[in-house]
Copies of this chain bind each other. A is one copy, B any other.
Amino acid sequence: MIVPIHLENSSITEYAVTIDKLPNLSFDTKVAIVTNPTVSALHLNRLLSKINANDLTVVTIPDGEEYKTLDTVVTILDKLFENKLDRKSLLIAFGGGVIGDMTGFTASLYQRGIGFIQIPTTLLAQVDASVGGKTGVNNRFGKNLIGAFYQPKAVYIDTDFLDTLPKREFSAGMAELIKMAIMFDSEFFNFLEKDDLSFKESLQKAIARSVELKAWVVNQDEKEAGIRAVLNYGHTFAHVIENETKYKRFLHGEAVAIGMVMANLLSLELGLIEENEINRVEELLIKHNLPVDYEIEDIDLFYNKFFLDKKSANSKIKFILPKGIGDFEVRDNISKDIVKSVLSKFSKAKLK
């Protein structure tokens, strides 16, 4: 089953909530699919059976975040030039977030920009990376530091691809989906509490709503000057956790889950949310096998690492906080002492 999202120019203009069968994708121009060996082995034949193109190339790149580099993008670009793709050709990103980010970036660069579509195969990519137009690669200075804002022509979300997704990766995707509900939609949160997402129809509804919310946010603020920053709820903390654990112990979504619990505690301290609400969030995260505990060894060190985050320019830390469930508040004037005391409470509570 498919959720097509129609995009036009550089902003999202229409979002189709009807869930249709995968249309037969027919192209009268050159098409290149960019994928990795894992996705290719599991799903490429199915995709190829749905695509009708005169001239089709498959570019397979190694699997993993460590290959999300400019060198890999150059390798893809060279393949496209060798196959003489022109300005009217189309790229298809077929894989998770790494594939999507690199394919979109490659599309933005090739002859100053050709069209591309996203067919994300992980839950995280379906609800997050494939929508919003952020593309790019990592370098030795950090993650996503080189890239472009570049919108896909369409995003095709097919939950059948998730059948082969490792459970832990599915849960990591759920963290970003739950994030959208907490920030923007209390009814959606209620739905997530009550419904069993192992039923595909419920899962599709949940993904559709999450994507719809993200598209709504990005449409208002493509370049993250305002409301788009709200999507970083949990992330300010998560980036420090990931840095401290050297990106090894947690998947990104897992770190975000812990980060949301931390942000919630700060929100509680400031009187923006009630205790029963933060408990409901914690229960939903646990229900989806997400971690909510983390032992902070050195509170000062943890706090200082907020300033490593490139999103915290000019030494002001912007905290994205829930205001109850379904609304948010952005604060950049919270005193160091309050933050440290909350971090200390969190860490102690988790040590019990």
Query: Which residues on the B side are within 8 Å of A134 (C-beta)?
Result: 112
A194 at the interface (CB under 8 A from B): no
> Hey, what's the 0/1 contact readout for A142-154 against B, CB within 8 Å counting as 1?
0011111100000
Given the known inter-chain contacts A112-B148, A112-B149, please indicate yes or no for A139 contacting B81, CB distance below 8 A: yes
Number of copies: 2
Chain B residues within an 8 Å CB radius of A108? 148
Contact of A240 with B by CB under 8 A? no
Asked if B145 and A111 sit within 8 Å, CB to CB, the answer is: yes
Q: Is A334 located at the chain interface by the 8 A CB criterion?
A: no
Contact flags (1/0) for A134-171 with B, using CB distance below 8 Å?
11100101001111110000000000000000000000
Q: Is A88 an interface residue (CB 8 A)?
A: yes
A113 touches B148 (CB 8 A): yes
A70-B74, A81-B141 given; A136·B148 CB < 8 A:
no
Residues of B within 8 A of A139 (CB): 77, 81
A113 and B145 alpha carbons, distance in the complex (Å) = 10
A313–B85 Cα gap in the complex (Å)?
A: 10
A81 touches B145 (CB 8 A): yes
Known: A70-B74, A112-B136, A134-B112. A313 touches B149 (CB 8 A): no
Question: Is there a chain B Cβ closer than 8 Å to A87's Cβ?
Answer: yes
How far, in Å, is A143 (CB) from chain B's closest CB?
A: 11
Could you say which residues of chain B place their CB within 8 Å of the CB of A46?
A: none
Using a Cβ–Cβ cut-off of 8 Å, how many residues does chain A contribute to the interface with B? 27
With A81-B141, A112-B136 already in contact, the answer to whether A87 and B148 are too (CB < 8 A) is no
- Is residue A109 within 8 Å, beta carbon to beta carbon, of the partner chain? yes
The reply to whether the CB of A246 lies closer than 8 angstroms to some CB of chain B is no
Mark A residues whose CB is within 8 Å of B: 70, 74, 77, 81, 86-88, 108-113, 134-136, 139, 141, 144-149, 223, 310, 313
Other than the given A112-B144, A148-B148, 15 more pairs (CB < 8 A) read A70-B74, A77-B139, A81-B139, A81-B141, A81-B145, A86-B310, A87-B310, A108-B148, A109-B148, A111-B146, A111-B147, A112-B136, A112-B148, A112-B149, A113-B148
